[in-house]
Every structure is written in structure tokens, then in C-alpha cells.
Amino acid sequence: MNSTKLELTVGIFMLIGILCLGYLSIKLGKMELMGGNYYRVAAQFDSVSGLKQGARIEVAGVEVGAVERIALAKESNDRAEVTLKIKDGVSIPDDVIASVRTSGIIGDKFIMLKPGGSDRLLKDGSKIRETESAIDIEELVSKFIHGNVD
């Protein structure tokens, strides 16, 4: 009888441990089991070189979301369309400017949102009209070396 009680106690302890490990893995990995509380907006850029899916989105240096998808725009194959997943409760005016930035000199790329002064807010499925593409350092250096600096 004592061995059965001991086995049951160990089994319950192991089950609790596995559940805790699963919970920590999901939270630390920033995974979502059920969609999460986000709304999605799209932005088109001339170039998103170096930007990756899952890259952070910032407003005033505060992380407010992540890049969900990067693909060629349906309307034109010469622009990239980025789907931004923004946390619910973060109000962004519809005249926001989205720009691709780099953390530090050679750091990761992220999207920085500069809110405007409009009273209308972005909603799920909205499009950001004003964008600034990433600065291509290689192209700038090439222009400088070959004397084509404007």
C-alpha cells in the first residue's frame, strides 16, 4: 500500500513539473496557443532587406508587436508587403509613419512606428500609407567609392 501511495505522489509531482516546464517554454519562447490579443495592419516598403519574421515593432522605444509576415505585394511585384501584429490596447493613428530601422550599427532590423496627429486610429486590416525603407549600407558605400554620391 505504501509503494502505491509513493508512486502516486511521484506521478503527480512529475505531472506538475511537466506542466510547469511547458508553461515556461511557451512564455519564454513568446509563443501563443490561441491567436493572442492582437490586431493586424499592413505596410508596403520598397525594400525590407534584413527584416525577418518575428522582428519587433516599436513606438517611442517600447515594443508593441511583431512582424507576422513578409511577402511581395499583390498589387505590384516591386514592393514588399509586411503584416504587422500589434497588441490590443495600443492606439496608433492612421497617419503613422512606419520605417525599417537597425538596432546599433550591425544589429537586427525592426519596424519603428512614428505616430502622427490624426484622430482616426488604425483598425484590424488597415494599411499604413507612409513608409520608409531600410537604408542599404552596401549601396551607399558603393556609390561613395565609385563617386556617384548625390
Q: What is the pLDDT along the chain (150 residues), one digit of tens a residue?
A: 688 888 899 999 999 999 988 888 877 766 655 556 888 898 888 888 888 888 888 888 888 888 888 888 887 778 888 888 988 888 888 888 888 888 877 778 888 898 888 888 888 888 888 887 777 666 777 777 877 655
Residue 78's contacts (CB-CB under 8 Å, 6 or more residues apart) are 46
| Strands 97-102 vs 130-132: parallel, antiparallel or unpaired | parallel
**Would you say 58 and 108 are in contact if contact means Cβ atoms under 8 Å apart?**
no
Nearest by Cα to 112 from 73, 60, 40: 60
| Strands 97-102 vs 80-87: parallel, antiparallel or unpaired | unpaired
In angstroms, rounded to a whole number, what is the distance separating the alpha carbons of residues 69 and 40? 10
**Would you say 107 and 129 are in contact if contact means Cβ atoms under 8 Å apart?**
no
Question: Model-level pTM?
Answer: 0.67
**Would you say 67 and 125 are in contact if contact means Cβ atoms under 8 Å apart?**
no
pLDDT of residue 14: 93
